[in-house]
Amino acid sequence: MPTRYKADPWVIALRDMLKTSVGPAWRVMEQSGKTKIDVRFSDKTRSYATIPIPWLPARSRDIEDAIIKIANIVQGGRTLKEAVEAIYGTNKKVPVAVQAPSSQLLRNCWEEFGREKVKNNKIKQSTWDTDYAKSFKKIEPVLDQCVDVDTLLSFAGDNLEAGCRSRQIAIQNLAAWLRWAVAKKYLDPTRWEPPAEKSKAIKDFIGEKVGPREEGVPLYDDEILKIIAYIESIGSAASQRWAYVIKLCACYGLRPHEVQYLSVQDIRGTKNVYCSYQKRSGSGKTDSREVFGLHPSWEKNWNLVELIETQEIPFPKFTGGVAESLRKYLLKKRTRPSHLAKNAWNEIVEKRRKKGEPVTPYSFRHGWAWRVHTDQRYCNKINTRVAASLMGHSHQTHLEYYGRWVPTGSIRSSLNELLG
């Protein structure tokens, strides 16, 4: 019986490390003193390539690093040959990706970014495990929805107060990572090159701190309609898009960034609007949900269901998160004669501020909660538990945040139910 070849210990260790870092489909072996790569794809096809790293124990870490880089590029939509050519060939430019990179590619890039920073003594391992890990957790749940630098950095800032230190650190860490990934040719620079470190564009993603966190101050119906009329009076394509964003937030009680997650589903011949956004917190995540237009006349008159379904009106560019982008748009001073004499948003904000009522873009959402609990057409038909579900948060959160608008009898009944 022939003697079975047994690999050297360093080769066994190398292959074990590769199984962990890139998966068992990637194998390496020696060919003419160099390193040969053998990849078995899920469709049962195989590809081979040789890289110019000597097959020596002293070069095992270099081999592992090279395979990780090549695997990252392949996961982004390139062939094995193209990936090797991009790193070692005469044509150093990586072909443009035919699709958005997978969430696994982004994770792999992030991990290699950390390994390199620690290896080069740029940061300590403890710093990577704490500060940098916190930054990545801001986007990890939505990696599969990140299609370019704008969406990724917007997601990073959406659930953090504009201008706060945590948001600044997250944006800066993630932007540094993307610069590194583009420089390493893992990501297409036309889609993933972030703004310069101290540029205005980066500051837009970080946002401006405008004071302490503001509780739910609602915009009332007449104020909402006045703001929309002002925006629509501008008469530009951009104003039409921003008016559409405001109508969605006001009519369905949405968080500003949720406007991007709406769809229409036909249930037994009735078209219903759904929001697929899932808010994550320490206690878990919310479910995708159906939303309900208040007032139904707004939904009908503004033709929202059809506009959501057809996507006839594109969204404006959101830089620094939807809420921050909306706030900046509303604050703009406009003096052209075709506009109304005053900026309705600024006028209302100033009037409410004098009463100690800070209005923010979230006030369109808070207006929905105010209507559902104070308007006689709805408050006796939609209880607090249903309202909480339609707004996409827990019953307890709803009572704590909006309970002051719920009639005493209703909130006591809801609390008794909640507490058992």
Regarding pTM above 0.75, the answer is no
Rounded Cα gap, residues 364 and 207, in angstroms: 20
Contact 248, 254 (CB under 8 A): yes
**pLDDT of res. 408:** 56
Q: Confidence band (pLDDT; 50, 70, 90) for 97?
A: very low
Distance CA 26, CA 4 (A): 22
Q: For residues 368 and 289, what is the distance between their CA atoms, to the nearest angstrom?
A: 16
Q: For residue range 307-320, what is the model confidence (pLDDT) as tens digits?
A: 999 999 999 988 77
Distance CA 174, CA 232 (A): 36
Q: Does position 399 have pLDDT exceeding 50, yes or no?
A: yes
Q: CB of 155 within 8 A of CB of 145? A: yes
Helix (H, G, I), strand (E, B), or coil: what is residue 345?
Answer: helix
Confidence of residue 170 (pLDDT cuts 50, 70, 90): very high
* Pairing of β 289-291 and β 284-285: unpaired
- Residue 35: strand, helix, or coil: strand
Beta carbons of 53 and 67 less than 8 angstroms apart: no
Domain residue extents for the chain: 9-88, 103-206, 221-419
In tens, the pLDDT along 194-211 reads: 998 878 888 888 887 654
Looking at per-residue confidence, does 258 or 407 come out higher?
258
Class of domain 221-419 as given by CATH: mainly alpha
265 pairs with which residues across the strands? Answer: 272
Q: How would residue 157 be classed by pLDDT, with cut points 50, 70 and 90?
A: confident
Q: How far, in whole angstroms, is CA 327 from its chain's centroid?
A: 19
Task: Please answer whether residues 86 and 185 qualify as being in contact, where contact means their C-beta atoms are separated by less than 8 angstroms.
Answer: yes
Q: Which of the pair, 108 or 291, is modelled with greater confidence?
A: 291
Give me the pLDDT at residue 210, please: 55
Task: Kindly report, residue by residue over 176-188, the tens digit of the pLDDT.
Answer: 999 999 888 888 8
Task: Report which secondary-structure segment, H or E, holds 388.
Answer: helix 384-391
Find out whether 386 and 378 touch, Cβ atoms under 8 Å.
no
Output the CA–CA distances (angstroms, integers) from residue 106 to 178, 192, 302, in the order listed: 9, 11, 40
DSSP 216: -
* 3-state secondary structure labels for all residues of 155-214: HHHHCCCCCCHHHHHHHHHHHHHHHHHHHCCCCCHHHHCCCCCCCHHHHHHHCCCCCCCC
